[in-house]
Amino acid sequence: MDRPGTVLLGHLRLYVLLLRAQMRSQGVYRVSFALDAVAAALITGLEYAAFALVLPRFGTLSGWTLGEVSLLYGLAELAFVLMDLIFGGFDAPNLSAHIRTGTFTTFLLRPAPLPVQVFGSDFALRRLTRVALATGILAYGVSQVAVAWTPGDVALLAGSILGMICFFGGLFVIGGTLTFWTVDSVEAMNVLTYGGRALISYPMDIYGAALRKTFTYVLPAAFLSYFPVLHILGRSLPDGLPGWAAFVSPVTGPLMLAAAFAFWTVGVRRYQGTGT
């Protein structure tokens, strides 16, 4: 019974159970749900549409065609919305609401692992329209670029998405943990999460050296999707970085996530210590 596999399976079953309960409750108000679902996709859809409609007047975005930008934009959006579905419970506004209303204390009292409960606490089904939209943008990008797709390229893109999910998920966990101390951290984390997503939705050479280098060497966001896409398009990496730097996304992301959960453990221990 105590084998790690059995334990993990038990956690997974609990997670699925929590998701199912939420999916049922979100299906109650059908019209409102449908409107919300469409509106969620509309926000991103119109932002992308505004760029796509304007680009023909200018030709390219510093040498990048619409198809090439769509590759970056679709990757970032797809990874971010999938991350949002999985890690939504850790997002600072959601978690701080749980702390304020006392549901978080209930989580601590239940005989189930805390992270599994938080993972299963905010599953916004309406975001599925955004997943569909992001997939569409990515598919458009894939079809428009002159690349002879190899299984390696596909694996590189999949790894890039996986890396981004872990990376931004890690940022959500850090932001959520910070709410144990202060609620003011919410906006600061938004700059990194939503700002980071916006940043890597476009080719990073447009930002100027200082900003690009900050998001390469300080916060390694450039490794997540910009470098993999550069590799697939057959372009060289900036600053004379070696070719393998395009392949570290599946490592960067999980490292960030591991660090985030280490911080989370410290935060939870402190939170219990206050006796709230």
Query: CB under 8 A: which stretch of 29-37, 115-123, 219-227, 249-257 binds another protein?
Result: 29-37
Nearer to another protein, 43 or 266 (CB): 43
Query: CB under 8 A: which stretch of 26-34, 99-107, 132-140, 166-174 binds another protein?
Result: 26-34
Q: The tokens of 181 are what?
A: 């101390």
Tell me which residues in 128-187 interact with another protein (CB under 8 A): 184, 187
Q: Is 55 in the site for another protein (CB under 8 A)?
A: yes
Q: Is 57 in the site for another protein (CB under 8 A)?
A: yes
Query: CB under 8 A: which stretch of 4-12, 52-60, 96-104, 142-150 binds another protein?
Result: 52-60
Contacts of residue 245, Cβ cutoff 8 Å, sequence gap at least 6: 223, 227, 237
One residue of 7, 17, 23, 191 binding another protein per CB under 8 A: 191
One residue of 9, 12, 16, 35 binding another protein per CB under 8 A: 35
Nearer to another protein, 32 or 265 (CB): 32
One residue of 32, 101, 272, 276 binding another protein per CB under 8 A: 32
User: In this structure, what DSSP letter does residue 112 have?
Assistant: S
Q: Is 208 in the site for another protein (CB under 8 A)?
A: yes
* Amino acid (one-letter) located at 5: G
Q: Is 263 in the site for another protein (CB under 8 A)?
A: no
Q: Is 23 in the site for another protein (CB under 8 A)?
A: no
Q: Which long-range contacts (CB under 8 A, 24 or more apart) does 152-160 make?
A: 153/232, 156/228, 156/231, 156/232, 156/246, 156/247, 157/75, 157/228, 157/232, 159/228, 159/247, 159/249, 159/250, 160/75, 160/79, 160/224, 160/225, 160/228, 160/229, 160/249, 160/250
Q: Is 195 in the site for another protein (CB under 8 A)?
A: yes
Rounded to 5°, the CA angle 252-255-259 comes to 140
How many residues sit close enough to another protein to count as binding (CB under 8 A)?
40
Residue found under tokens 């059908």: 30
> Would you give the end-to-end CA distance of the chain in angstroms?
34
One residue of 19, 42, 131, 248 binding another protein per CB under 8 A: 42
CA–CA gap between residue 229 and residue 235 (Å, rounded): 9
User: In this structure, what DSSP letter does residue 221 have?
Assistant: G
| Sign of the alpha-carbon torsion through 64, 69, 72, 76 | positive
User: Using CB under 8 A as the criterion, which residues of the chain lie in contact with another protein when the complex forms?
Assistant: 29, 31-36, 38-40, 42-43, 46-47, 49-51, 53-62, 184, 187-188, 190-191, 195, 198-199, 202, 206-208, 211
